[in-house]
Amino acid sequence: MVEVTRAYIAGFLDGDGSIFLQLIRRESYIFGYQVRASIVFYQHHTNKRILRWLKHKLRVGYLRDRKDGMAEYTIVGLEDVKRILLLAEPYVLLKRKQLKLALRIIDRLKEGKINPGTFLRIAKEVDKFKILNYSRKRTNTYVQVHQYFLTHHLLSP
């Protein structure tokens, strides 16, 4: 991908995008939770063509129209999110903290075998996105994961 396109995507992410990691409750997962990585680009539905262009360039994700007249281009998944963050990294300014934090967490998750203590430390790091992104509705946090670990005897004394 040419540098000017990478820079444009980074600027779009800085202005009309979001980087976030979330703790998602998953009964089938060994620790009861999943760390989900996402990047979302937003535009008024009249400018949806730019989101289609982005999707064409990045070759991953999906588009959706919201009921409030906005359109979203969403990319989900550790590998895909990491690839796009690395592509944009040299040019991102406003969301540099979110980008660096996301890359650090993704790398820790990809290191290999994760024990309950490591997962709890990662959950604490994921909670930082609430502050960085001014989130109000985050319901799954380190506190819920820790409580789950206690009730399911996943922590050693």
Question: Which residues are catalytic, by number?
Answer: 15-16
- CA angle, 68 then 71 then 72, to 5°: 120
Please give the backbone phi and psi of residue 44, each rounded to the nearest 5 degrees, phi first: -60, 145
CA–CA distance, 124 with 69 (Å, rounded to integer): 35
CA–CA distance, 16 with 23 (Å, rounded to integer): 23
Encoding tokens for residue 39?
A: 């990047």
Q: Is 97 exposed, middle or buried (0-12, 13-18, 19+ CB in 10 A)?
A: middle
Could you tell me how many residues make up the chain?
157
